[in-house]
Amino acid sequence: MPERRRGVTRRQVIAVGFTLLGLLIVLGNFSELGVEPAVTTRLTFGIPNLVLELPTALSLILIGLAWLIAGVVALVPRRDRLGNWGLWSGAALILPAILIWAAAGKQTNAASLVGESLRLATPIALGALAGIYAERSGVINIAIEGMMLTGAAFGFAAFVFTGNIWLGVATAVMLGSMMALIHGVLSISLRTDQIISGTVINILAIGVTGYLRRQFIVDSSGGRVTLPQISVPLLSEIPIIGPLFFVGKPIFFTMVVLVLLTHVVLFYTRWGLRMRAVGENPKAADTVGINVIRTRYLNLALSGAIAGLGGAWFSLETVGSFDDGMTAGKGFIALAAMIFGKWTPFGAFGGASLFGFSEALGIRFQILNVEVFDVPVPTQFLQLLPYLVTMVVLAGLIGRAVGPAAVGKPYDKQ
């Protein structure tokens, strides 16, 4: 029999991309990009007198050489392990390369960029965790966006009318959970298609929150008050790391705790085992005495509560007000982060951090007034960065992502 021919693999495509990008940088003309040979990039880290000054062109050439070598090694047959290490190393150099180029001839704080990335990743990570709880139990939850928007609106409304911002956060959590239960009634009890049910929740959230804002919020004012900033004693004083990880607001810290807690619950508790069993094979789970319907409802309610907390991040922790559609698609990006992380908490947090960094980078580009061929990069393009990264990641970088076997399939107990 003739030998079966293998098609082009994803790894080969990425390797070719790194090879071509490395050649382009090594042989390119940096002057056309506004980078003269004598130009330097100054990176600060929030510590007095600590400044890293790099020759911009030379630094980019060295990174380009690293990409070229990584791509070539990855294309060599029977060098899978070495090639994979090279590609991952090359991927890690993408972010420093962009920052060095963007700050050419200027000075920028690299540490604050990391901190801003983590802050902007907060609602995405919470949305991804919400997706994990729902989909690990077998329910597709594309309604995360609507739950977040509902939490943002009703949480701020509760704060406006009571003057208690913590009551506003609790209201956001509760309303997010209520929207999830509506999704549960439609998709679990009535066995409506879960995609359609989630879409209905998103449309309902847009209408309800828009009406709430016009009728009750627009003439009121919360005074642009937001949740207080917290500094963890001693740990917040650690140079560089302290301000990044141990100084923040309550929902940010809650997100970090939830990532750790979800990992423990999912893989080390009976509840997590039952959740995963229901999401993989509900009939077998039912056979051993697990209540499939109750498990799905409980996890979906928890999913909505976490999504509602993500909504409170927008109106109560960051902005101090509510605007129509202020979640701006972060719920859908959260789903992308969940898929990126293969339905695991740490993986989802990594995906959320990537998307948060892309948004923070777009903001930093505007501050640095980045130009290409002496033309400023349009603000609209910079605002597209998170969504562009989402498409690139889902289209080609994460490989095949296989969710729980029973996700999206209604269970009919017989």
The more confidently predicted of residues 254 and 87 is 254
Please say if the pLDDT value at position 29 is more than 70.
no
Q: What is the model's pLDDT at position 2? A: 47
The more confidently predicted of residues 165 and 91 is 165
**Could you write out the three-class secondary structure of the chain?**
CCCCCCCCCHHHHHHHHHHHHHHHHHHCCHHHHCCCCCCEEEEECCCCCCEEEEEHHHHHHHHHHHHHHHHHHHHCCCCHHHHHHHHHHHHHCHHHHHHHHHCCCCEEEHHHHHHHHHHHHHHHHHHHHHHHHHHHCCCCCCCHHHHHHHHHHHHHHHHHHHCCHHHHHHHHHHHHHHHHHHHHHHHHHCCCCHHHHHHHHHHHHHHHHHHHHHHHHCCCCCCCCCCCCEECCCHHHCCCHHHHHCEECHHHHHHHHHHHHHHHHHHHCHHHHHHHHHHHCHHHHHHCCCCHHHHHHHHHHHHHHHHHHHHHHHHHHHHCCCCCCCCCCHHHHHHHHHHHCCCCHHHHHHHHHHHHHHHHHHHHHHHHCCEECCEECCHHHHHHHHHHHHHHHHHHHCCCCCCCCCCCCCCCCC
**Mean per-residue pLDDT, 342-357:** 91
The more confidently predicted of residues 379 and 158 is 158
Q: What is the model's pLDDT at position 125? A: 96
Residue 54's DSSP bridge partners are 41
What tokens appear for 257 in the block? 């705790």
What is the chain's mean pLDDT, rounded? Answer: 86
1 confidence band (pLDDT: 50, 70, 90):
very low
87 confidence band (pLDDT: 50, 70, 90):
confident
The more confidently predicted of residues 303 and 233 is 303
pLDDT in tens, 63-75: 999 999 988 988 8
pLDDT in tens, 101-117: 888 888 888 888 888 99
Q: What is the model's pLDDT at position 77? A: 78
d(CA 138, CA 163): 39
Q: What is the model's pLDDT at position 400? A: 63
pLDDT in tens, 115-135: 899 999 999 999 999 999 999
pLDDT in tens, 211-254: 988 888 765 555 578 999 999 888 888 888 888 888 999 999 99
